[in-house]
Amino acid sequence: MASATVPSTLAPYALAALRVITGLMFLAHGTAKLLQWPFVEMFKDGVPLASLFGIGGLLEIVGGALIVIGLFTRPVAFVLSGMMAVAYFMFHAGASFHPILNGGELAVLYCFIFLFLSAQGPGALSLDARRSA
């Protein structure tokens, strides 16, 4: 019976690791678009802030940072999930039904990871947990 309790005690930390790593990766998309770091050829000249890519980049930076620190995790993750669903259908779905063929795998994964975080919450080591304590 003791081994059955180990996974349940580690689950909040595994959820926190998923949240932090997802947030950092998402944040990098925004900084690539708006700050050109890390450098991505597609965004070498930056993107206008008042464009779809600019608004997306701003949401990726602010939302990604909030997800990393675990602040307002549920509502932020819900908004980001919707953003990624819209991004998938606007920029990928028209090319093919299959995400692997239309380049939309990341959009789908982010959409469902953020949907999961919005339902599950931030896990351990979050500012949300500190605020409620």
Mean pLDDT, range 2-22, rounded to an integer? 86
Is the confidence at residue 96, as pLDDT, over 90? yes
Q: Indicate the pLDDT class of residue 121, thresholds 50, 70 and 90.
A: very high
Question: Does residue 82 lie within any of the structural domains?
Answer: yes
Question: Does residue 39 lie within any of the structural domains?
Answer: yes
Domain extent at residue 46:
2-128
Task: Please report the pLDDT score of residue 7 as a whole number.
Answer: 78
Question: Does residue 45 lie within any of the structural domains?
Answer: yes
Question: Does residue 37 lie within any of the structural domains?
Answer: yes
Is the confidence at residue 6, as pLDDT, over 70? no
Mean pLDDT, range 91-110, rounded to an integer? 97
Three-class SS of the chain: CHHHHHHHHHHHHHHHHHHHHHHHHHHHHHHHHHCCCCCCHHHCCCCCCCCHHHHHHHHHHHHHHHHHHCCCHHHHHHHHHHHHHHHHHHHCCCCCCCHHHHCCHHHHHHHHHHHHHHHHCCCCCCHHHHHHC
Domain count, the chain: 1
Question: Does residue 68 lie within any of the structural domains?
Answer: yes
Is the confidence at residue 1, as pLDDT, over 80? no
Residue-wise pLDDT for 69-80, tens only, equals 999 999 999 999
Question: Does residue 133 lie within any of the structural domains?
Answer: no
Question: Does residue 123 lie within any of the structural domains?
Answer: yes
Question: Does residue 42 lie within any of the structural domains?
Answer: yes
Task: Please report the pLDDT score of residue 133 as a whole number.
Answer: 72
